[in-house]
């Protein structure tokens, strides 16, 4: 018995072996969640602050794995190979600029964040900016836009997990795949918080490395066996599939530029990347974490971009491009290794989904409910509210994922670009420009987010405006004008509202690292 998946099949025995290995992996990571929960209760550190930041005590490797796995996710293990298979290597390579993510998110902002966290008592990045501008409205705008974008980002991860599970178990198992992806991730995330996520991320990062090198190794070996050499493989692809090796992304120049920008630096400014900056208390650990994260990301993302065209050289008949990695795992490798790769794919998806759920829930629970609405909420109640939002985000994302897009990467692109348009300049400028004002921040956040959503529908969804966008604007990526609008609004509105600018004093702490420690805590936000 075998499952026909359009261009390849999976035997029942292979499926069973892979599922057994996956079951063992799932039990292990869920067990970590409950163990961390038990340890937190035992140590009296079961509050929301510990849940979100781990007390600021995560090590370099844990920081690196959270940053790397959050950035890669289903886009690396499923979407990038699928895009490379269907469009070509250079189309997937456009997203490779994302290796800058960890360096920006942890480097540009991270060092300052740790200092500010300790001196202000903040437990989320949005709370820091709220303190900086003394505005609940800034916190609320960040929370709402962030939660919206992260929910759609999560849809891409859930879809990836469901597609992979369906491929391994049979094409009718998509909805079961959704359920398992959600349930396993939510259990270990909601139970153990950031510490559980860190432990699991270390396991997941190692599994992803094993899976990546196994896939590229077997692809090279099979292509050499079939064509005689890697060079001969490239020559074949140059004739049969020119997009595989030609510098042709299938995008216009400005579309490709916009894609590279939001993938390369946008991820470093979105909530689930920035949340990592709240988890360390040693700058040496941060530097080590940045280095390790960049190395891991560069290796895995770069190699997986290559796998799409190399797979097409072996099997040009895949009907579903997002099944590229699964084909390699089930048809080119032993069943037990296929099981490890299966776990590696899910590891990438679940780690990112966990980060998305954590960041989105913290925005709504801590930043919106507690900081903006009910500041006197008891710590235990805060934890309960946060858990409820983790479940709520997972539910909404699941409902949207019931109707998946053809290429998972497109859903991820929408969410990531919307977040980058709303957050990039407010985060960077808000932390480093003294003349920025609360009204400027609000205008930038709302304007960047709204303009991207509008431009996206005009350029990609509505037929009449899509044609005009292509002919009149050369197909420029919707992110670019939205990104610039966000910057212009931030600067212009800030200069126009200088009378409202927060006086320095305590807030000098945001602009230097040796400010007097007697200005240590601020407990409330003023509007």
Q: pLDDT at residue 451 above 70?
A: yes
Instruction: Tell me the three state secondary structure of residue 93.
Output: helix
Ranges assigned E (strand) in 126-187: none
Distance, CA of 345 to chain centre: 14
Query: What does the pLDDT look like over 18-63, one tens digit per residue?
Result: 888 888 888 877 776 677 666 656 554 544 444 444 444 566 666 6
Task: Output the DSSP codes for 11-35.
Answer: EHHHHHHHHHHHHHHHHHHHHHHHH
Name the average pLDDT for the chain: 75
295 burial level (CB within 10 Å; 0-12, 13-18, 19+): middle
- In this predicted model, which residue has the larger pLDDT, 163 or 39? 163
Sign of CA dihedral 125, 131, 136, 138: negative
Q: What is the pLDDT of residue 105?
A: 56
Beta strand 2-4 pairing with 9-11: antiparallel
CA dist., res. 178 & res. 158, Å (int)? 6
Q: What is the mean pLDDT of residues 223-227?
A: 91
Judge whether 430 lies within some domain. yes
Instruction: Tell me the three state secondary structure of residue 2.
Output: strand
Cβ–Cβ < 8 Å for 166, 173: yes
pTM of structure: 0.74
Cβ–Cβ < 8 Å for 440, 493: yes
- Binned at pLDDT 50, 70 and 90, residue 343 comes out as confident
Judge whether 319 lies within some domain. yes
Judge whether 515 lies within some domain. no
H or E stretch covering 149: helix 136-169
Judge whether 519 lies within some domain. no
Percent of the chain with pLDDT over 90: 9
Task: Output the DSSP codes for 322-356.
Answer: GGHHHHHHHHSS-HHHHHHHHHHHHHHHHHHHHHH
H or E stretch covering 70: helix 60-74
Judge whether 49 lies within some domain. no
Query: What does the pLDDT look like over 252-291, one tens digit per residue?
Result: 666 666 666 766 666 666 676 666 666 666 666 666 776 7
H or E stretch covering 72: helix 60-74
Number of domains making up the chain: 1
Q: Count of CB atoms within 10 A of residue 252's CB?
A: 15
- In this predicted model, which residue has the larger pLDDT, 234 or 115? 234
Q: What is the pLDDT of residue 49?
A: 46
Closest CA to 444 of 459, 454, 429: 429
Cβ–Cβ < 8 Å for 127, 371: yes
- In this predicted model, which residue has the larger pLDDT, 128 or 226? 226
Query: Three-class SS string for 463-490?
Result: HHHHHHHHHHHCCCCCHHHHHHHHHHHH
Judge whether 39 lies within some domain. no
Q: For residue 7, what are the domain limits?
A: 2-30+58-510
Structure tokens at 359: 């960041």
Q: pLDDT at residue 524 above 50?
A: no
Query: CATH number for the domain including 488?
Result: 1.20.1730.10
Judge whether 527 lies within some domain. no
Q: pLDDT at residue 403 above 90?
A: no
Task: Output the DSSP codes for 201-258.
Answer: HHHHHHHHHHHHHHHHHHHHHHHHHHHSSHHHHHHHHHHH-GGGTSS--SS-HHHHHH
Judge whether 521 lies within some domain. no
Instruction: Tell me the three state secondary structure of residue 515.
Output: coil
Q: Please, which contacts does 21-28 make with residues 24 or more away whose CB atoms are closer than 8 Å?
A: 21/336, 21/339, 21/340, 21/342, 21/343, 22/339, 22/342, 22/343, 22/346, 25/207, 25/343, 25/346, 25/347, 26/180, 26/184, 28/203
Q: pLDDT at residue 358 above 60?
A: yes
Roughly what angle, to the nearest 10 degrees, separates helices 12-42 and 174-227?
120
Dihedral (Cα; 291, 292, 297, 302), 10-degree rounding: 80
CA dist., res. 345 & res. 166, Å (int)? 13
Report how far apart the first and last C-alpha atoms of the chain are (Å, whole number). Answer: 66
Instruction: Tell me the three state secondary structure of residue 9.
Output: strand
- Specify the range with the lowest mean pLDDT, choosing from 65-74, 123-132, 409-418, 463-472: 65-74
H or E stretch covering 37: helix 12-42
Task: Output the DSSP codes for 366-405.
Answer: IIIIIIII-TT--HHHHHHHHHHHHHHHHHHHHHHHTS--
Distance, CA of 239 to chain centre: 36
CA dist., res. 95 & res. 81, Å (int)? 11
DSSP 77: I
């Amino acid at each position: 018995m075998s499952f026909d998946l359009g261009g390849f099949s999976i035997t029942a025995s292979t499926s069973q072996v892979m599922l057994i290995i996956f079951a063992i992996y799932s039990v292990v990571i869920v067990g970590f969640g409950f163990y961390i929960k038990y340890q937190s209760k035992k140590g009296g550190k079961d509050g929301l602050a510990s849940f979100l930041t781990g007390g600021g005590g995560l090590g370099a490797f844990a920081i690196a794995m959270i940053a790397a796995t959050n950035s890669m996710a289903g886009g690396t293990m499923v979407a990038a190979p699928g895009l490379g298979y269907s469009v070509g290597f250079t189309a997937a390579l456009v997203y490779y600029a994302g290796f800058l993510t960890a360096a920006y998110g942890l480097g540009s902002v991270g060092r300052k964040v740790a200092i500010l966290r300790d001196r202000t008592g903040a437990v989320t990045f949005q709370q820091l900016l709220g303190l900086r501008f003394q505005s609940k409205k800034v916190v609320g705008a960040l929370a709402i836009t962030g939660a919206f974008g992260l929910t759609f980002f999560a849809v891409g991860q859930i879809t990836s997990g469901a597609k992979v599970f369906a491929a391994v178990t049979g094409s009718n198992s998509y909805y079961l795949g959704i359920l398992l992806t959600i349930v396993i991730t939510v259990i270990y995330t909601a139970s153990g918080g950031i510490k559980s996520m860190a432990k699991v991320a270390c396991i997941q990062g190692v599994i992803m490395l094993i899976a990546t090198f196994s896939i590229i190794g077997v692809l090279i070996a099979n292509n050499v066996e079939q064509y005689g050499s890697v060079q001969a493989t490239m020559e074949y692809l140059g004739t049969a599939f020119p997009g595989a090796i030609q510098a042709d992304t299938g995008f216009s120049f400005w579309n490709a530029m916009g894609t590279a920008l939001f993938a390369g630096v946008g991820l470093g400014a979105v909530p689930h990347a920035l949340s990592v900056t709240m988890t360390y208390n040693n700058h040496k650990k941060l530097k080590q974490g940045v280095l390790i994260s960049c190395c891991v990301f560069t290796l895995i993302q770069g190699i997986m971009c290559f796998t799409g065209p190399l797979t097409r050289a072996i099997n040009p008949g895949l009907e579903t491009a997002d099944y590229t990695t699964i084909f390699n795992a089930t048809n080119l490798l032993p069943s037990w290794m296929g099981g490890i790769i299966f776990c590696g794919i899910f590891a990438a998806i679940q780690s990112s989904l966990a980060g998305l759920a954590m960041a989105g829930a913290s925005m709504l629970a801590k930043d919106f409910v507690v900081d903006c609405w009910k500041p006197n909420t008891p710590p235990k109640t805060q934890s309960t509210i946060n858990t409820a939002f983790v479940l709520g985000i997972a539910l909404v994302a699941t409902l949207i994922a019931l109707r998946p897009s053809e290429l998972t990467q497109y859903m991820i692109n929408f969410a990531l670009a919307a977040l980058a348009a709303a957050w990039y300049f407010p985060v960077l400028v808000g932390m480093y420009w003294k003349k920025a004002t609360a009204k400027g921040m609000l205008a930038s956040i709302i304007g960047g987010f709204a303009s991207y959503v509008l431009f996206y529908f005009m350029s990609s969804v509505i037929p009449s405006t899509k044609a005009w966008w292509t002919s009149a604007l050369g197909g420029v990526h919707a992110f670019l004008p939205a990104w610039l609008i966000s910057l212009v609004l931030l600067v212009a509105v800030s200069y126009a509202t200088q009378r409202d600018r927060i006086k320095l004093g305590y807030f000098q702490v945001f602009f230097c690292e040796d400010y007097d420690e007697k200005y240590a805590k601020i407990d409330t936000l003023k509007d």
